[in-house]
């Protein structure tokens, strides 16, 4: 009997930002996505519906998040009508047992080291309607700084039942040539052996209506410290960013990407609204996409980018 591939649904993605109200307002106003507020203990958590999932905004250090909650993508909540049973079925280690989550829904947290550093919770569904706007269709992917994509495949596909989407290898090769052009002697041209200056393996695993993008640095011989001056925006720079992230925070959730039908339009609209941007034009990204980054300060400390691509 063939098993039908059915990725578990995503309930929400938790983002830790400077000011939840301000970030929620940006998604509501500039992205045009609906907002719903949820109670979480004594605080109110603004939630933005996006595609079949949602973004939940928290302040740094919110006790709901556990110790040392820093700005960035904090955790991913997978939908389960019975979180404890789902966790048990995965066979992955849990921490703290079942507790009350958003709106008092049951939730349980998986041990981070069991999921390649990605903080995963099972949570009862929140019952939000799907939503999209002319600017954003859904989450495209959630980027993970990964130390071991093979282990991630085991945890997310074999244990959690997520669906393998694709894998790619990104490489940047540098070739240096010298030429000596004389007015008298022969033209001399020579090329030194090409060098691999950056390489990453990127594995996409579907969860809900988007993918987890596990990015593993394959480059050898470059320490995180050596790479600190590498510029962003290319394979060498990206691999360096992943290496530095892992060196400082460990493997785990790294960024979030939003799928847009018009990358230049999306980048331009945020820029026109006064938000700080890294890119105003798309550039080549994974999965034949054009991608463009929003500056983390505009998203309250979360690294985010847009993705425009055709479905294959």
Distance CA 293, CA 312 (A): 23
Residue 173 beta carbon to another protein: minimum distance, rounded to whole angstroms: 5
Q: Which stretch binds another protein (CB under 8 A): 14-22, 67-75, 128-136, 185-193?
A: 185-193
Interface with another protein in residues 211-240 (CB under 8 A): 234-235
What is the sign, positive or negative, of the torsion defined by CA atoms of 302, 273, 26, 256?
negative
- Is 248 a binder of another protein (CB under 8 A)? no
Number of residues that bind another protein (CB under 8 A): 33
Of 214, 93, 86, 60, nearest to 147 by C-alpha is: 214
Under 8 Å CB-to-CB from 66, ≥6 apart: which residues? Answer: 109
12: DSSP letter: E
Among the candidate windows 146-154, 178-186, 219-227, 267-275, which touches another protein by CB under 8 A? 178-186
- Establish if 174 lies at the interface with another protein (CB under 8 A): yes
Choices 26-34, 92-100, 119-127, 286-294; region in contact with another protein by CB under 8 A: 286-294
Q: Indicate the residue among 2 and 181 with the shorter CB distance to another protein.
A: 181
Q: Token pair 């694709």 is at which residue? A: 166
User: Other C-beta atoms within 10 Å of 32: how many?
Assistant: 14
| Min dist. Cβ of residue 240 to another protein (A) | 14
Rounded to whole angstroms, the Cα distance separating 274 from 280 reads 13
Contacts with another protein, 195-214, as mask; x by CB under 8 A: --x-----------------
Among 2, 182, 220, 248, the residue binding another protein under the rule CB under 8 A is 182
Of 45, 63, 41, 49, the closest CA to residue 10 belongs to 49
Interface with another protein (CB under 8 A): 165-186, 188, 190, 192, 197, 234-235, 284, 286-288, 312
């Amino acid at each position: 009997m063939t098993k039908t591939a059915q990725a578990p649904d995503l309930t929400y993605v938790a983002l830790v930002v400077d000011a939840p109200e301000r970030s929620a307002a940006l998604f509501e106003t500039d992205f045009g996505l609906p907002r719903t507020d949820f109670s979480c203990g004594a605080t109110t958590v603004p939630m933005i519906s996006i595609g079949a999932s949602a973004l939940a905004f928290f302040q740094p250090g919110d006790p709901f998040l556990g110790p040392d909650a820093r700005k960035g993508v904090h955790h991913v909540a997978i939908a389960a009508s019975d979180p404890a049973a789902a966790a048990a079925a995965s066979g992955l280690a849990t921490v703290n047992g079942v507790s009350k989550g958003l709106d008092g829904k049951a939730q349980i947290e998986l041990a981070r080291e069991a999921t390649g550093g990605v903080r995963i919770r099972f949570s009862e569904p929140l019952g939000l309607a799907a939503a999209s706007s002319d600017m954003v269709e859904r989450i495209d992917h959630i980027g993970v700084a990964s130390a071991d994509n093979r282990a991630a495949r085991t945890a997310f596909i074999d244990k959690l039942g997520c669906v393998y989407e694709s894998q790619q290898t990104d490489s940047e090769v540098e070739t240096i040539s010298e030429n000596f052009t004389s007015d008298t002697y022969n033209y001399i041209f020579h090329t030194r052996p090409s060098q691999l200056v950056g390489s990453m393996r990127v594995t996409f695993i579907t969860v809900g209506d988007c993918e987890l993008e596990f990015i593993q640095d394959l480059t050898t011989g470059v320490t995180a410290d050596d790479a600190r001056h590498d510029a962003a925006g290319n394979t060498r720079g990206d691999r360096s960013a992943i290496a530095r992230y892992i060196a400082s925070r460990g493997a785990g959730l790294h960024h979030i990407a939003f799928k847009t039908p018009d990358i230049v339009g999306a980048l331009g609209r945020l820029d026109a609204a006064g938000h700080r941007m890294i890119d105003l034009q798309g550039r080549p990204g994974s999965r034949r996409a054009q991608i463009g980054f929003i500056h983390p300060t505009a998203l309250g400390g979360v690294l985010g980018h847009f993705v425009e691509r055709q479905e294959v």
